[in-house]
Structures are given as C-alpha cells and as structure tokens.
Amino acid sequence: KAGVTQTPRYLIKTRGQQVTLSCSPISGHRSVSWYQQTPGQGLQFLFEYFSETQRNKGNFPGRFSGRQFSNSRSEMNVSTLELGDSALYLCASTTYSGVYGYTFGSGTRLTVV
C-alpha cells in the first residue's frame, strides 16, 4: 500500500510570506502528526490531528497551524515566515494511537530566504 506522501518535497519562500504543506497519510490511518527537524533543535513535535480535530499541540507560536480533512489528509500552514522556520517538516501517520509506531513521510524541506 502507498506510504505517507508529503508535497511539495522542496520549497523556497521569502521572509514574511506564508506557506502550506500537505500530507496524505496511509489509507486507513486517521491520526496525522507533524514534526519540525532542524540541525540545532532536532526533531520537535508541532501538532497531531485525529478525525479532523487537533488532539495534541507542541510548543510553537500561533504562526504554525494545521488542519485535517475528512479523508484524513492534513495541511500545515506557517504564516509570516521567519528565517528560523527553515527546516525539514515531517508528517507521520498512524491508525489510532502511536503505540505501534508511526509511519513517516519523506518530508518537505522548507528554506526561508
């Protein structure tokens, strides 16, 4: 079966702009989580959605938001981009909870210039 698909794979944006990243989970997976990966901070949890509801949220400013659609696809939005938002954004999906592990996508590499 198809894996977790993230689009686009690469993105270059200018400071102050906004960006939307997309994640299509594995068929049947209803939970989608987002992580930010940077060399300095490592992997940090952004938020998790389950059945179109945000179930958990990390410690990120309100500029970072997300949503989940009825087909479980999720989008993440970052407004008023800052240079420090440059990172690899990873999406992970699982069925209900992650006790058996999560399946990750290959990420979107966002560069803010």
Partner 1 sequence: AQTVTQSQPEMSVQEAETVTLSCTYDTSESDYYLFWYKQPPSRQMILVIRQEAYKQQNATENRFSVNFQKAAKSFSLKISDSQLGDAAMYFCAYRSNTQGGSEKLVFGKGTKLTVNP
Map residues 18-47 to x or -, x wherever contact with partner 1 holds by CB under 8 A.
---------------x-x------xx-x--
Of 17-25, 64-72, 73-81, 90-98, the window that binds partner 1 (rule: CB under 8 A) is 90-98
Single out the residue of 32, 87, 105, 112 in contact with partner 1 (rule: CB under 8 A). Answer: 105
- How would you write the chain as a 3-class SS string? CCCCEEECCEEEECCCCCEEEEEECCCCCCEEEEEEEECCCEEEEEEEEECCEEEEECCCCCCEEEEECCCCCEEEEECCCCHHHCEEEEEEEECCCCCCCCEECCCEEEEEC
- Shortest reach from residue 16's CB to partner 1, in Å: 27
Q: Is 100 in the site for partner 1 (CB under 8 A)?
A: yes
Binding interface with partner 1 (CB under 8 A):
3, 33, 35, 42-43, 45, 48, 55-56, 58, 88, 90, 92, 97-107, 109
